[in-house]
Amino acid sequence: MNFLKKLLTKKTAVATDQPFWEWFGENEAESFLAVKSKDSHRINDRFLKAIMPRLQAVCDNLYCEVGMYDDTRAELVISAQGDVKSFVFAEELVDQAPEFNRWKITALKPALGVHNNSIHIGGYVFNCQNFGFFYDDDPQYPDEVRLSFVYPDFTEENKEVVTQGVFLLLETVLGERDAAVLIDQATVKDPSPDDKELIPMEKLIDFLRWKEKEFVEKYQGVRHATEHDNYSGLEGEDEGGFPSIGLVNHDLLEWDAKASHPWMLVIEIDYNKTKGADSKGMPDEKNYASMNGLEEALIGQLPDSAGYLSLGRETYKGKTTLYMACKEYRLASKTTHDLLQRYKEQLACSYDIYKDKYWRTMEKFREALL
């Protein structure tokens, strides 16, 4: 793409009830001419201001980038800005796209590789020739891919801009999906005599593919049946007298194959928003019944046999949080989104999905049970 334009703005009030690709088909010719002109004002006014609210009517976290793919075609990249739970919606939308002679439609920012790619931010240049990385292996967490990227000019004063530059280059090199999925933890630092031997950035993609293959082979087919598991109740009270009540799967918290289900799905139900909490922050009878119904439906649609493990729940100060460890993130996100839409008139819910191979999210419950 030899010209790129991105728009991240407030939503514009336009009618968005027309199917996305039907609207795009009616406007693609004019949009193509705007992109081909490389006039940023024309692209913004004729295309981006119109497409953004329509994209975000499909999913709040969808954005786009647009530019010329070659001399005869423009490219529309539908991005989730690195938000893993929204990847599936970008991918599904692109899968539904018809063929357009003047357009290449791409789901998520593509990988552009290690060669001839540079990021310029705050007077600093970031490319695959001016820094390297090493692997922080930890025997306690052997399945985590933890990388340190060593940038020669890194200081505490420029930490923010240098970290931003390195991460933007990683997304450019790896693509949006792999940058978010293949690295569990990344840090940016200055050179140190104690550092391990640096691995050239040219080897990053091959290194990550090797670690991914190793991980998949290790845990392929690993499942846990929860039918006969033991559950533990937890109760506490804060200094203000607000109780905290939890129920967790005790056996799963002690399981030695947690990394086989590396994605943590967290659903938050906020009774305060629906005025469904009592004076102690506990849900009223109506909200309690709705929450139980949602949880049962979630477990029914995402069963342990398919790679989804319900870990437990906690209620505190007007909110209940549900925890589930997942084999993957796409179906988990899609199913959860659709389920919360069904319950939106009864419960105020939100959710997130993130990589957590060792279930650190649940560590506070495990420690409470010791």
Query: What string of H, E and C letters represents the secondary structure of 235-286?
Result: EEECCCCCEEEEEEEHHHHCCCCHHHCCEEEEEEEEHHHHCCECCCCCECHH
Annotated domain spans of the chain: 5-107, 118-219, 231-369
Residues 6 or more apart in contact with residue 368 via CB below 8 angstroms: 234, 236, 246
**Tell me: the pLDDT tens digits for 35-57?**
999 999 999 998 999 999 999 99
CATH number for region 231-369: 3.30.70.120
The answer, yes or no, to whether residue 217 has pLDDT greater than 50, is yes
- Count the Cβ atoms, other than its own, within 10 Å of residue 305: 10
Over the chain, what is the mean pLDDT? 93
What pTM value is reported for the model?
0.92
CB 356 within 8 A of CB 318: no
- 225 exposed, middle or buried (CB, 10 Å; 0-12, 13-18, 19+)? exposed
**Tell me: the pLDDT tens digits for 117-139?**
899 999 999 999 999 999 999 99
**Tell me: the pLDDT tens digits for 189-198?**
999 988 899 9
**What pLDDT is attached to residue 1?**
45
Q: Which helix (H) or strand (E) holds 127?
A: strand 124-127
Q: Provide the terminal-to-terminal Cα distance of the chain, rounded to the nearest Å.
A: 55
Q: What's the mean pLDDT in 247-257?
A: 96
